[in-house]
Amino acid sequence: MNTKTNLVPVVLCGGAGTRLWPLSRQAFPKQFAVEVDQQSLLDLTLARVNRLEGVSSCVAVTGEDYRFMVAEALHNAGLPGSILLEPVARNTAPALCAAALQIAKSDPDAIMVILPSDHFVADIDKFASAISDATRLAQEGWWVTLGIRPTKPSSAYGYIEPGSVIADHGSAAQVSQFLEKPDVEKAGELIGAGCVWNAGIFVVKAGTAADLVAKHAREIHDAVTAAVEDIAVDNHFYRLQPDAFSASPSISIDYAVLENESRVAVVPYEGDWSDLGSWDAVAGVHAADDRGNRSAGDAWFSSSQHCFVHSPDKLTVVLGLKDVVVVDTPDALLVTSRDQVEQVKAVVDDLRTAKRSELTDHRKVARPWGTFEGIDRGERYQVKRITVKPGAQLSLQYHHHRAEHWIVVKGIAKVTRGEETFLLRENESTYIPLGAVHRMENPGKTMLELIEVQSGSYLGEDDIVRVEDVYGREAEPGSAKRKSSEASPRTKTKPAKPSAGKGAPE
């Protein structure tokens, strides 16, 4: 590959991953939740990016809810770049158009390597080689997609039918057609005819991508152009203009552009790949014992075969079972036969209709400053375990309906309470009265851990009024109105009672 090529990976970090519930949740989808060898799928994606030659920077496309987790992953990977924030989800065509327009501002010839953040690729060298082949085609103006060699007939993927081989580009071929997800019998026929899986991995010039969206999907191009022209920059976060971006149709790049464009090529990737779209697929990346059992965490198999257990927090014993999947999390447990794992998404839809909170958050919730985890909850109290990263701090805030006790169990806490500022060490505690402006910081070099006991008439997450926040976050839903009408925490005006919800340290 030409070392002067400006390669810009575009990592797509949206999506809920409902087929991997209960590990994957709305607030913590599979690219963050699923781990292989103690690394998240996003971490593994960024590791692949770091192995590519010619990478100058990285663009991650995600939503507001995931921005801090993405920023931390980029930082840990040592990748410079920007985070493009979608105000609403509009599928891949508007997202990729926004990335292309933003990159093309400085370099329309930059090569975008477009990668979903939730795939597992075992052979990084073969992957890098395929990207190198695709880059040479992209430099000639092709939109290139990677085609995965199928390992079995599957109805889970779309297929690509290769057409004429492109001269001087090895096994690369012009795409004859994109094919919808078939049934298993039809999938076998397609594989026999030389078709490959469509993985949604693309290589294309930024300028070419923008021009092709304009050619085939003018409504998307015009809406996204307006959103990019009025972009708001906040450090490494780039917020697309909400009204303009929301006006774009919601459609995949395959339907909007690729199926209508002749100059699309497919380059085969010959190594192991999985989109980890089901618990059976996740099981496949873990080593099997002599009876075909696999596990992530602490599992004990007795008289069982071809089972999978995800149990990172406790011992799970599987006795006398066959072809069963067990997924244990602190607040939800999934037990299913392996032939029913594709139905998890339907179960999630039913739970959503029932408005179950287990679809949104885990008991342990990530924040830009660390984490909090629910331990216990009663009618007028709840208990949380909080961790704060070295140098991090929560927002300066107050509450209308609850008081708090903080007990440090590890590290040092710097506490602001009203006009006071003081330090708490291990086994020391303090009390935050209702209405007091307060903040917690970690001034040390190790993780701060503490127990928080909240008590009051209402413990909902919307009873947070932020006075100041180093992460640029707005007030919680419901508190913004109170903030404008009740400028002082000492106001005697009683606010309307917020809707029910779980308390969340901020």
Together in a domain, 143 and 225: yes
Together in a domain, 333 and 424: no
Pair of tokens at residue 181: 């997800």
Which of 305, 321, 353 is the C-terminal boundary of a domain?
Answer: 353
What whole-number distance in Å separates Cα of residue 162 and Cα of residue 175?
Answer: 5
359 located within any domain? no
505 located within any domain? no
2 located within any domain? no
Together in a domain, 376 and 265: no
13 neighbors 31 (Cβ within 8 angstroms): yes
For position 506, what pLDDT does the model report? 54
For position 488, what pLDDT does the model report? 35
Together in a domain, 435 and 336: no
Beta-carbon-side half-sphere exposure of residue 126 (alpha carbons within 13 Å): 14
Whether the pLDDT of residue 461 is over 90: the answer is: no
279 located within any domain? no
For position 474, what pLDDT does the model report? 66
Q: How confident is the model at residue 365 (pLDDT cuts 50, 70, 90)?
A: confident
Domain at 439, CATH number = 2.60.120.10
What whole-number distance in Å separates Cα of residue 66 and Cα of residue 191?
Answer: 37
Together in a domain, 152 and 38: yes
195 located within any domain? yes
- Contacts for 308 with CB less than 8 Å, ≥ 6 apart: 279, 280, 282, 283, 286, 293, 294, 295, 324, 325, 326, 338
338 located within any domain? yes
Together in a domain, 416 and 459: yes
Enclosing domain of residue 144: 7-274
Cis peptide before 153 (omega within 30 of 0): no
Phi/psi of residue 3, nearest 5 degrees? -70, -15
What whole-number distance in Å separates Cα of residue 99 and Cα of residue 42?
Answer: 18
Together in a domain, 331 and 391: no
What whole-number distance in Å separates Cα of residue 61 and Cα of residue 86?
Answer: 7
pTM: 0.84
497 located within any domain? no
Q: Please tell me the total number of residues recorded for the chain in this structure.
A: 506
104 neighbors 6 (Cβ within 8 angstroms): no
89 located within any domain? yes
Which of 212, 244, 274 is the C-terminal boundary of a domain?
Answer: 274
Domain at 141, CATH number = 3.90.550.10
Stretch 239-262: mean pLDDT: 96
More confident residue, 15 or 206: 206
Query: What percentage of the chain reaches a pLDDT higher than 70?
Result: 93
Q: How confident is the model at residue 155 (pLDDT cuts 50, 70, 90)?
A: confident
Helix and strand tally (H, E) in the chain? Answer: 13, 30
Together in a domain, 147 and 169: yes
402 neighbors 458 (Cβ within 8 angstroms): yes
Whether the pLDDT of residue 14 is over 90: the answer is: no
253 neighbors 277 (Cβ within 8 angstroms): no
Together in a domain, 468 and 376: yes
Number of domains making up the chain: 3
Together in a domain, 73 and 137: yes
Phi/psi of residue 265, nearest 5 degrees? -120, 155
Burial class (CB in 10 A: 0-12, 13-18, 19+), 148: buried
Together in a domain, 269 and 292: no
Together in a domain, 466 and 408: yes
Place of tokens 């209405």: 435
Rounded to the nearest 5 percent, the helix, strand and coil shares of the chain are: 25, 35, 40
Phi/psi of residue 19, nearest 5 degrees? -70, -10
Which of 212, 243, 274 is the C-terminal boundary of a domain?
Answer: 274
